[in-house]
Structure formats: structure tokens, C-alpha cells
A and B are shown apart, each in its own frame.
Chain A
Amino acid sequence: MTELSFQSRLTWTGGRQSIGSVEAGGERFQYSVPASMGGLGTGTNPEELLLSAVGSCYTATLAAILEALQLPVAQLQIGVQGTVADYPGPQARISRIVVNPTFLGSDVGREADYESAARKARERCFIGRHLGPQTVYEVGEVDFAEPESESEEVLDVRALPPPRRHQLIFGRLDELVRGAAITLVNDHDPKPLYYQLEATQPGHFSWDYVEGGPETWRVRIARIA
């Protein structure tokens, strides 16, 4: 067993109506007392930082669980909602923290496995275990979505010799999770690839021409199964 050490550095000048800064991990954030609590509301605030600490730990824990269970996902998006009860007053407290995970590009048909992983991550979340009994910490709604189109890869193989194109394209398509897509750019119609995909993995990919020559062909290929 060993002890690990972590640091962050904070500065604050003035009274309650002031702005401070947090430095951690080489990043610097402004923060203040939230406007809803009578502060300046500039930058983030201690309440959001706590939610971020819990949420970031939860997210990393969930990612590790998905990896161990071989549940594919293109991206995790986690919303964290915090509630302060009995404010103002001596009983004011963070009474509830709810994490709402969204799985982008997950393996459709295994939703129950993802939901189970989402709840397991809440139990194992290291930071969450440090919350006191006055705070309910729970998993809220679990959502599933298609990967965001802006994250789609453009695979331009025009500069590659033909034998290498084939290997590269199949390698990338093998890595695509369900719902994810690439746009293939080629200097001839890549239609042979369409037939080869249908022969090896029938019904697993969609095929949509974005540009159909005569100099350049662009095809959006998405994994649909």
C-alpha cells in the first residue's frame, strides 16, 4: 500500500463578492460564489467543481467498466445535476447528485448491459464514495444516441498505392462501432468495396454517395449492425 498525493492551488482576493482562481493539472479556472447564493457568479463555483469531481470520476470508472465488459462506445457524455436543499440556513447542503450518462455509438441490443454498467460505475466511483450520508448520489436517466456527425472521420486514400488502400479501409471499417461512420474519398468509384462488404458482412454497412466523380468520389459508410 502506498500514499498518493494530489494538489490544486487556489487564490482569492477580497471579500465574498470577489473572483478567485483554481489551478489544477496545468489549467486555470476562475470561480466565485454562485449568483444564486449572492455571489458574483463569475466562472465556475465550488458547487460545480464538486459535481465535476464526482462526474469526472464516474465517467472514467464507467469507461473502465465498459472496456472490461467489452461493451463498445464511441463517446460517453455525462450530465451531472446537483441540488442544494434548505438554503439559506445552517441545514443547507448538497442533498442530491444525479449523473445522467449518454452512450454514443453503443452496441444496440445490449442496452441492459450498458445500464447495468452505468449503475456499477456509481457504486465503484472513488470520489462518489466520499460523499456523506446527507447527499443522495444516484444514476438518473440512461440515454443512447448516434455518434455526433462532426466526429466522423474522412478517410482519403487517393495518395496511397491501391494495395494499401484496401488494407487501410478494411482496418478502419472493422474498428467502427455501430452507428459510427467514415467518409471515404477515392479517385475512382469504390463500388467494388460495396460488394466486398456485402459479401463478407451482409447488411452491416450503409453506403451513401456524397460525391460521384468524375474526378473524386466521396462515400459515407456507416456501420448499421
Chain B
Amino acid sequence: MASAHRSDRVAEVVPGLVRILDRSIRALGDQGEEEAACQLAAEAWALLESEWDSEAGRLNGTLHYLTRQGAEGNRGTAPA
């Protein structure tokens, strides 16, 4: 009974934690720490990708956001 309850809670908690993680990692990237943010997002994605499709997809989106931001930042500072 207790384990069934815990399983239900995991199904609720994991998506919520991933949303928080997503926001945290994006914030880290926005502070100029794109490399660390990308590594964290990819590590979290690797933990989720086999069983948590939707959450892994969210972190894949995070990675795309971060790498796009990084590229735009680099273009902005590149010499003309």
C-alpha cells in the first residue's frame, strides 16, 4: 500500500521537480554559465530519457534554448 502511494507520488513529484530544474538551469545559463547549464541539463536528460519521455523532452528543449542563447551571445560579441 505504502509503495503504491509512493509510486503515485513519484509520478506527481518528478514532473514538478523537472519544471523547477528547467527554470533553474535556464537561469544559470542566462547568467552567462551556459557550459555548466548545458552539462546539468544533459545529465538530467540522461537520467530521464528512458522512462520519462515528456520530462526528458522538456530538458531537451532546455538544451536547445541554452545552446541557441549561447550562439546568439557569441554572435553579439563577435567582431564585425
Contacts and interface: CB of A to CB of B under 8 A. Distances in A.
Nearest to A163: B57
Given A188-B68, A192-B60, A195-B63, 14 more contacts: A188-B64, A189-B67, A192-B42, A192-B63, A192-B64, A192-B67, A195-B38, A195-B39, A195-B67, A196-B42, A196-B63, A198-B39, A199-B39, A199-B42
Contacts of B38: 191-192, 195
Contacts of A70: none
A196 B68 CA distance: 16
A189 B45 CA distance: 18
Given A192-B67, A195-B38, A166 B46 contact: no
Interface centre among A191, A199, A200 (most CB of B within 10 A): A199
B67 A199 contact: no
A142 B68 CA distance: 48
6 contacts: A189-B67, A189-B71, A191-B38, A195-B41, A196-B42, A213-B71
Given A189-B67, A189-B71, A198 B42 contact: yes
By size class, the interface of chain A is 10 to 19
Interface string B49-75: 000000000001001100110110000
A96 B76 CA distance: 69
A199 B60 contact: no
Interface in A173-225: 188-189, 191-192, 195-196, 198-200, 213
Contacts of A213: 71
A189 B38 CA distance: 14
B43 interface: yes
Nearest to B66: A192
Contacts of B70: 191
Contacts of B41: 195
Nearest to A197: B42
Contacts of B67: 189, 191-192, 195
A200 B63 CA distance: 15
B12 to A, nearest CB: 25
A83 to B, nearest CB: 56
B71 A196 contact: no
Contacts of B68: 188-189
A199 B71 contact: no
Contacts of A195: 38-39, 41-42, 63, 67
Contacts of B45: 196, 199
